[in-house]
Structure 1
Amino acid sequence: MKILTRSSVLILLVISACAPRRDLVYFSNMANTTTTNDAQNPEARIRQNDIVNITMNSLSPESNLLFTSKNISPDATLKGYRVNKSGNIHLPLIGDFKIEGMTIEEAQSGIAAALSEHVKKPEVEIQIVNFKVTVIGEVNKPSTFIITDEKINLLEALGMAGDMTVYGKRDNVLIIRTEDNRKTMKRLNLNNQETLNSPYFNLRQNDIVYVEPDRSKAVEFSSNTRIAPMIIASISAAAVLIAVLLKR
């Protein structure tokens, strides 16, 4: 029995020594005090197919009611005006108004200026109601998340997805970004503090975050590892038998 135990322990030690080491700490090379520049986080710009909720307040209550957004999604959860292929939305009193490429503040100012020809002292508020990011792969709660303030970074997105599992590769997180009908892909190392300065650390509309599993998960769930306990038991039995034969 002692020989069996020692053999099993030896085998387990060999197996564990061969397993790849994983750094599960984010930004493990960060100094105690670090300052980063947040200039890499530009304001969100309105794009085609965005849905914008617009509210207007003025001295005319009747005109204000015209800007009550209607449901435009099949499930009746999203309210707003969809930006068409020309970059326009069709607004009461104004008609077609191009907002594609504008920031939220620019669109608010532009619409307010156009409305001032029809109502007194208009105040306009805009929100992109379909600003979303998707987090998939080795996270605890993969999903698509609607972002209400048009601003989110990679760590916040991972937090919304319940953080990475222990199998997630923190040094190789893939960001897939679509802009102007072009897809770009960037891999980020979350063990390196330089990632904080990457233009991909702050996410944009419709970004996809993919957390790749490391090799240890592939090994654990491969068909070969299903017979690992049988192999270990066979080796242990063989070690006991050899020890018994040598004593004779």
Structure 2
Amino acid sequence: MKKIFLSIILLPLLMLESCTTKKQMLYLQDLDKYANSTINYTSPKIQPNDILKVEVGDLNPLVAAPFNISTGNPAAQSSVDMMRLSGYLVNPQGTIMMPILNEVKVGGLTPANVETKIKERLINENYLVNPTVQVRVLNNKFTVLGEVNAPGVKNFSEESISFLDAVGLAGDLTYSAIRTDIKLIREVDGKRLVYHIDLTSASWMSNPNFRIRQGDVIVVTPNKLKANSGGLIKDPLQLIGIVASVAALIIVIAK
């Protein structure tokens, strides 16, 4: 009787252990096939709600000063939070309002495009002879939700970061995460785009669309065990432990 009971208990445990295979768990299993492949980079385009830092320079700082926003506090200029508060917020029409130049259309352009555009206006409208212009997005961030160890909003200072960098900032995927279909949601020019990424393969790594940009959202779906348990079972090993404990208790009582 006890042997039959133990068989009934152990069978589902063995099935549970085999429900997640190595092929479903390991990252970039075909990475060697994509070694030495070309890495493509594209500069992200500025979108509404981006916050820009626009800095105009000249050999004579005094003539460039009227085109820059002054915080009045030199220490505040080194604070990212203060720079965001004093930066240019891109409105829904894709424009910013600069001193003297007034409205400047920046939506849909790269930061380098905006630098060229402002520089040309300064020269063509006879404000400055040989200005320098630097444009940078100050509020680069992405959101990661679902089966990661540290979900939430993550900030970054680069124009874009790799998808693997984003996974690392989120503390890696949990054991219960589906690695073959991770969703990347992005808004570009008023449209919502959805990409699907299989982290068990390296085939996506050279695609510039899979670099994380300002405002991206990553969604990691749980496997069936986690989803069907309503989140009560955090890890398959937890369920194994629960079932084993119950089995041991029944055996003790049976004796």
Q: Would you call these one fold, judging by a TM-score over 0.5?
A: yes
In the other structure, the counterpart of 1:56 is: 56
Whether 2:101 is the aligned partner of 1:94: answer yes
Counterpart of 2:204 in 1: which secondary structure? helix
In the other structure, the counterpart of 1:244 is: none
Deviation at 1:107, TM superposition (A): 0.7
In the other structure, the counterpart of 2:215 is: 206
In the other structure, the counterpart of 1:195 is: 204
In the other structure, the counterpart of 1:114 is: 121
- Alpha-carbon separation, structure 2, partners of 1:36 and 1:141: 31
Whether 2:90 is the aligned partner of 1:83: answer yes
Whether 2:112 is the aligned partner of 1:105: answer yes
Deviation at 1:124, TM superposition (A): 0.6
In the other structure, the counterpart of 1:34 is: 35
Deviation at 1:218, TM superposition (A): 4.2
In the other structure, the counterpart of 2:177 is: 168
Whether 2:232 is the aligned partner of 1:232: answer no
- Alpha-carbon separation, structure 1, partners of 2:165 and 2:32: 21
Counterpart of 2:180 in 1: which secondary structure? strand
Paired-residue identity, %: 26
User: Structure 1 pair 147/63, CA: closer, same or farther in 2 (3 Å)?
Assistant: farther
- Alpha-carbon separation, structure 1, partners of 2:166 and 2:110: 22
Asked whether the 8 Å contact 1:133–1:205 carries over to 2, the reply is: yes
Deviation at 1:43, TM superposition (A): 1.0
- The residue identity in structure 1 corresponding to 2:102 is G
- Alpha-carbon separation, structure 1, partners of 2:51 and 2:63: 21
Counterpart of 2:178 in 1: which secondary structure? strand
- Alpha-carbon separation, structure 1, partners of 2:32 and 2:53: 43
- Alpha-carbon separation, structure 2, partners of 1:35 and 1:91: 45
In the other structure, the counterpart of 2:26 is: 25
Counterpart of 2:167 in 1: which secondary structure? helix
Deviation at 1:197, TM superposition (A): 3.9
- Alpha-carbon separation, structure 2, partners of 1:180 and 1:96: 19
Asked whether the 8 Å contact 2:42–2:208 carries over to 1, the reply is: no
In the other structure, the counterpart of 1:245 is: none
Q: Of residues 130, 137, 148 in structure 1, which corresponds to 2:146?
A: 137
- Alpha-carbon separation, structure 2, partners of 1:138 and 1:93: 49
- Count of aligned positions: 233
Asked whether the 8 Å contact 2:47–2:188 carries over to 1, the reply is: no
- Alpha-carbon separation, structure 1, partners of 2:57 and 2:120: 13
Deviation at 1:234, TM superposition (A): 6.3
- Contiguous gaps of at least 5 residues in structure 2: 234-238
Give the TM-score normalised by the residue count of structure 2.
0.77
User: Structure 1 pair 84/222, CA: closer, same or farther in 2 (3 Å)?
Assistant: closer
User: Structure 1 pair 64/186, CA: closer, same or farther in 2 (3 Å)?
Assistant: same
In the other structure, the counterpart of 1:126 is: 135
- Alpha-carbon separation, structure 2, partners of 1:31 and 1:227: 40
- Alpha-carbon separation, structure 2, partners of 1:206 and 1:62: 36
Deviation at 1:59, TM superposition (A): 2.7
Counterpart of 2:221 in 1: which secondary structure? strand
- Contiguous gaps of at least 5 residues in structure 1: 242-248
Asked whether the 8 Å contact 2:34–2:202 carries over to 1, the reply is: no
Give the TM-score normalised by the residue count of structure 1.
0.79
